[in-house]
Amino acid sequence: MVARAEVKIGGFGGQGVILSGIIIGKAASLYDNTHATLIQAFGPEARGSACSAGVVLSEEYIGYPYIMEPKYQVIMSQEAYTKFVPELADDGVLMYEQDLVKLDDTMKPGIKAVGIPATRIAEELGGARQA
């Protein structure tokens, strides 16, 4: 574990964005004895509106829980891509929903991008909500 790791997850309500942030934080706390914080943001609608989760992981006490320059991003919608990819660190890692997100030239050249057909896989396993 590095001294501080920042993870940003973005998408729309109903995709499990907030739940993913919770799972990452709890897993780090339980299995890696790491401190974790979660900041979540979402629109007034329960489903379909933009939402994000910012997870900070650290070996030390976290005095500032907000994401400054995430090294890792999980992007589940085009709107989240447009809004959050400019924040990604120059050497960051972007994991994106390849069936819903189209990459463009706004992405920094040093970023490693990995497309995952998460919704398609979830539907094959029984429901898109597990994406």
List all residues 6 or more positions away from 47 whose beta carbon is below 8 Å from its beta carbon. Answer: 12, 13, 14
Residue 46 has pLDDT above 60, yes or no: no
Per-residue pLDDT band at 1 (split at 50, 70, 90): low
List all residues 6 or more positions away from 2 whose beta carbon is below 8 Å from its beta carbon. Answer: 59
Q: How many beta carbons lie within 10 A of that of residue 50, not counting itself?
A: 18
pLDDT in tens, 107-116: 889 999 999 9
Residue 2 has pLDDT above 80, yes or no: no
pLDDT in tens, 82-110: 999 999 999 999 999 999 999 998 888 99
Cα of 116 vs its chain's centroid, Å: 13
Q: In what order do the strands lie in the sheet with 35-42?
A: 35-42, 50-58, 4-12, 72-75, 93-97, 112-116
Please report the pLDDT score of residue 130 as a whole number.
64
What is the chain's Cα-based Rg?
14
Mean pLDDT of 21-38: 92
